[in-house]
Copies of this chain bind each other. A is one copy, B any other.
Amino acid sequence: MANEIKKLDQNDRNILKALQQDASLSLENLAAQLSLSTNACWRRIKRMEADGIIARRVAIVEPEAVGLGMTAFVAVRTNDHSDQWLKKFAAAASGIDEVVEFYRMAGEVDYMLKLLVRDMADYDRVYKKLIKAVPLSDVSASFAMERIKYETAVPV
């Protein structure tokens, strides 16, 4: 089964911890840290990649360094809970690069989006793009002034 939870031993966890912080580490370096041979380490990584535990390796770009100073959380409430509406909304939002995260929520809010934009004018542009694609009645945005922590590493 593809989406089963695989068992990880302490070496696997340590590999994940290290690579989630720095995937540019050489095998030799990483293996030495964990007192493994390079290719024992290599086989564990390949297994976790095959099992879908390690999804991919990416470069992290500093948003501030490229002028993306504003993070917006957009809470959406809807009356239309049809599958078709969600599909349309999901497709529209997923196609917008500034929408970096998108969740279906439990409780009051139906959907939560996280946007990364340059400034308020840029937010407005993305917002208009969004409501043009799908009619959204109840939308409320909150803006982040400061990013205190941002971590791609998940707790393992």
Contacts and interface: CB of A to CB of B under 8 A. Distances in A.
Nearest to A59: B19
Contacts of A133: none
A65 B1 CA distance: 11
A135 interface: no
B154 A100 contact: yes
Interface residues of A, number: 65
A19 B63 CA distance: 15
B65 A52 contact: yes
Interface string A115-156: 010000000000000000000000000111111111111111
Interface of A: 3, 5-6, 8, 16, 19-24, 51-68, 71, 73, 90, 93-94, 97-109, 111-112, 116, 142-156
